[in-house]
Amino acid sequence: MFKNTALIVLTAAIFIFAAQSGFCEPDMAAQVPDLAQSAPMSKSDAIVKFAIAMIGVMLSSVVIFAGLWVYNKFFVDKSLFPNNDKDDVLNTPKSVDEAVVLFIKRNKLC
């Protein structure tokens, strides 16, 4: 029930954000050639625009991180990823017997 509701809300949010015209409005598109031919901007204006762009990048990174965290928290089946022994994660088997035992243990075949 919660998963279905969350998917519906997420879909609605995507449609709402996608429907916003933003900078694609016709009057803004008509101004683009005029903006390109205007006087060069000062260094402080360039720094402010760059800072605003970087804040946007950081904000979008936080939104993506939060979205993936929520997805992993509520929508990923935890039984698909059993907790491995932290000592065995990076160790490679030294013999064929160790490799077979490690394979059986990790795939829970016994």
In the chain, domain spans: 2-76, 81-110
What pLDDT was estimated at residue 39? 64
Average pLDDT over residues 79-102: 74
Residue 9 has pLDDT above 70, yes or no: yes
Q: Which residues contact 74 (CB under 8 A, 6 or more apart)?
A: 2, 3, 6
What percentage of the chain has pLDDT greater than the value 90? 24
Average pLDDT over residues 5-26: 74
What pLDDT was estimated at residue 68? 93
Average pLDDT over residues 56-68: 95
CA distance 21 to 3: 30
pLDDT in tens, 25-34: 666 556 666 6
Average pLDDT, the chain: 79
Residue 53 has pLDDT above 70, yes or no: yes
